[in-house]
Every structure is written in C-alpha cells, then in structure tokens.
Structure 1
C-alpha cells in the first residue's frame, strides 16, 4: 500500500503538547494527523493518505448513519526508555478487524496494510507518544475504524468503504494505582446471541450496553456483567472487557468465545498463564459457579481485562438481593505486571509480541 503524506501546517505547539501529555486523560486530545484509505468494487483499496487531523464531511444519506455498518479496533503505542516506540501484537488487531469486516459484509483490509497504516500514522505523530515512568502507564491510544461511506439508502453492503486511523494520548486507566471494580449482574438485557455480532468489534455492541451500563452506574457499580441470551445462565463478558476466574487449584477459566469479543489481551493472558504453569480453560461458566465458588473459597480471584485497563481486579459482584466479594490476588497482580512490563520494554519479549514502529 502506497501512502501519501501531507503534513499539517498548524501542528500543536511544543508547549501545548507538553501540557497535554502531562495529563492526557483518555480520548480528550488527538494528534496532528489521521490516516485514510478508501475502497470501491472497481478500484479496491486506494488513495491511502496521511493528512492533517480534522472533520470529515458526510452526506446525510451516508449508509453508516442509517444501518450502522461499522467496525473498529483499539490498540496502543508505547515509548520505551531508549526513546523507541512499539505496538503490542498489531497483527492480531488487524486479523480481528478482518474477522469483524467479514461479519459486517465489508471488504477485508489485508493485515499487513492495517499494520502499515498504524505504523505510518504513529511515525508521523511520534512526538505525541508520551514518556512513561514505571507505574505511570501513559501511551498513545490508537483507534482504527471502518465505515460504510456510500451515499445510498438501500439495505445492502456499502459499495464505498472508508478505513481511517486516529490517535489520542492516554494516561493511566487507574489514577493512583489499580483499583478493584464493582460489577452489576445484568439479568434483563443481553449483549449478543448465537449467530449475532457478539464476536465482531462493532459499535452496535457497545451501544446496546449503554442502557444497562447507566443502570449499573446508578447502583454504584463500574461495569455490567452480561449473561447468555439463550438461557440467562452463563457468563459472557462486561460491557467492554473480558472476564477471568482464578480457582484455588491453579485453574484460570474464561468464558468461551462465539458470542463474545476475542480480546487481544484475553488471548495474551491465556498464553502467559499456560507458560507459567496455570491450567487454562475456555468454557461456559454458569453465574452460580462464580457466586458459589467465591462463597466456598474455590474461586479465589476474579479479574477483567482489555486494552485500556490491561487487567483490573474485580472486587464485588452485585445483583438484586445479594453480592459476593473478592480481592486482588497474586495471579491477577503477577499477570498484570508481566503484561505491562512487556509493553513498556521492562521485560524480555520471549513471545515476540512487540512490534517496533520507530
């Protein structure tokens, strides 16, 4: 993929950038440039370009606004102590976007072009990648996304598709250190069913979580736990994270995929845990297994994982009429440290997961 570059004539000043990187928050500030490439049946992927960050113009009849044909990814770039910049398993993000694209009737962007697009943007905007001290966990959050950009109101796959990449500096997910989260057990709403789009990273899955998420906030909780759509019995995932249960006998168990998103962090945890001698299981987990397991001591730790928070311990699960509590234990703590140290270059990359950009 040939990429043309038009640099911004009005980049953020060094002084203002220093202020932003000192306290970036999440999703509040965006780099000076963005990447775009377009697809049509006649020309395939074409007109790949990096240009100044700015608004995009859409006709009111643009298909994505009416039928939600859209996919996205979430990943990060990390600055190491020597000044080099790396991403974590970007090929896996590219492969997952291809799977999401197939489910949403999009053309698939080749994985190598996905990685090249991300690399090109980060290289141009490398000054936006924060320096991170240990415990700081600052990074550049990267958002690749694809949408139906054809001006057409018929219900069919779009014949014009746009893929873009934008980036935003991000601070530590947990200010002041990792904090256990409180989860609300959702028993009315479901996230996805068999044959649906649960395994695709598409905006509709997140939109469907907003109403139950608001109810969870009202009950003093941080996230929602969704159960399966068929029986309302088996754990699926949170509104935006995957779940793991740690058992006293050394097992690490997570819900099987199919109707949940196959997280890159989730997959990495499964591999790291197996390498450390833990027995890993991907299977259906009944909600009562979680409740009863905590009560009996069989389940010793519960944690959630995702790109933004990496790994966060679950402190409490609440539902109408009850709750169970757990604490951050050694498995949660050690796995989190292993991943974060790897991403920031403080540990040897024996699995060759890190990809150098600059």
Structure 2
C-alpha cells in the first residue's frame, strides 16, 4: 500500500514551514522533470525524422553526382567527390559500391552507425549504389547540453519555490503560535479583547482568526419551559384499518390546515397524527391556534361522508422538551375520549382562549366561538374546501 509522503517519519518531524516548503519544492521539481522528459522525447523524435530525411537526400544526391564517374570508371573523380563530402562534420563515411557490392571509392571513418543507401541507375539497370553514414554526435551533444540546462533550471525553480514557501510557512507558523498561545491561556477568551492578529487575506484562515478572537459561540439555550399546545387526531380502526393511501390523503389535508396556524404536523403513531403548536417569544396564542385548527379539521371530516371515524384532542403542557411532548401524545391517544373533538380544560383556561368562545359541548365535540372569530373560521373553512377540491 502506497503511503502518503506526509506519513514518512522524516517528513512528520519537520516543522510546518519546512514541511510546506519541501512538499511544494518536490511538487515543482516533479512537474519540471515530467516536462523535461516530454520535451526530450519530442526533440529526439524530431531529430530522428530530420536525420532520416537528411540521410536519404544526401545518399540520393551522391548517387546522382557519382553516376557519370562510376560508368566511366573514373575512380579518382569518385574519390575526390567522396573526400569533399566526408570533410563535412555531419558525415562519418561516404562510399560508392559497384553492382557486385564491392567498394569502388570511399572516404571517412568506418564506424558503426545508421547507413543510408541509394541505387545508382544507368539506363534500365543498376550500376551500383551510394552509401552515407550520418554523424549524429553533434546533435546528441546539443541534446545532452539542453537536458543539463533544463535540469539546472528545474533545480533553480525548485530552490526558489522552496525559499518562497519557507518564508510563507514561517509567517503562518508565527500566526499559529500566536493563536495557540491565546487559546491555551487560562483567561481565554477574555484575553482576546482589543487583540488583533495581522493577516491581510480574506479566506478560511482569516475566518479562523476572527473566530479565535471572538471566542466560542454561546451554546443555544433550550427553552424547555416554553409551552406546547397539541392537536392529536386518532383514526379508529377496529374493523378495517385505513389504507396507506387514505392516511397519506389525510396527512396532506392536515399539513395544509396546520400551515394556516403555524402548526407542525407529524405522524406520531400508527393511524395517529400530531399537530404541534409551540410558544414563541412574540406571541402567546398557540393554544387558540390549536383550537381553531381542531375546529376546522372537525368540520372538514364531518362533511366528508367517506371519512373514517376519528377523535381529536386539543391539550397543552407547560414544557416543550421531547419527554413532555411524548407524554402529552400518550395521554391524548388514551381511549377514554369520545368521538369528535375533545378540548382539555388546560386549553380553556389559557388567556388566549378565554373570552373568545361562547360555549363548548364535549359530548358532541362542538365549539362555539365568538362572532368575529366564528366568521373568520367559516371563511377559512370555505377557502380551504375550495383549495382541497381543486387539488
């Protein structure tokens, strides 16, 4: 399994600045080496193609120039031509061979290398052939020199990258040490008052500095003493259990009604729904909202001939923590409640409810609101019926 370079022992023991500089310099050097390898491969391919073209052209040109002297048997002219050609630094050896493949004239050094040959034609037959061996040593020397220059330049760039990252890492290390000293102080975060750390960036590090100077965020206080009003709807299923489609349909209707009064509907138990109305700091009418929501639900289900038998309970508790909520739901799901809507006395005694209803019939689950509130609920009920019919 390949380990990360940062997991190597000699890397882990380095200070942060040296570690950052070493990693950046290694990345820079690796990138340069990859670029050098690619460029060298490209240069070699181009040089090989150029040598191939040069060798073919020279051998063909030599064959054309040597044809008259070869036919006439003028060896001195051939030798003079080859000596003049071999005097060039680009050619190691030049030679003319007869039809029996025996050398007629040659010049230059006999060394191993790539040979380029061209036939010497006379009328419709071959009278011999020319041979050229190219000297590619100067090109190889130049390629090697270019490679050394590129390697030196890569080392220079890596050294510059190391120095720059070492300077940057040193600045960051100083900043981290200051942050560590602030956090480790026994009087933190009081010691950060009127304290500033110079950092010109606008990034995550600046956010870390600001948060360190600001200190830890205060823990959110759970308002467990806030009141909670509950509307619990329980569908009866002694004979036939409601189908999943029916329950989904009822939940959609309850969600629509609950949103009118800032209630949150959730499935508390099988065949039961809970609409939760929490007390907030601006308003204290959550019991009245639960009562209005229960009234509209009771009217809606009563008008639906296909509706299942149900009972709804409106109650409340003085605490809104999870334990109190579950305990309240358990009490609301208890069987003693009659069909229809049942309102707990705790709701009737609340300040948001008293004075807004004229009467309550527990046996029939009927609530009579005052005239203005009754008209408002009737309008909301009519609008809701139209909305549900369209959907």
User: Which TM-score applies when normalising by structure 1?
Assistant: 0.18
Larger Rg: 2
Q: Greater share of helix residues, 1 or 2?
A: 2
User: Which TM-score applies when normalising by structure 2?
Assistant: 0.17
Q: Which structure exhibits the higher relative contact order, with contacts defined as CA atoms closer than 8 Å and separated by 6 or more residues?
A: 1
Q: Greater share of strand residues, 1 or 2?
A: 1
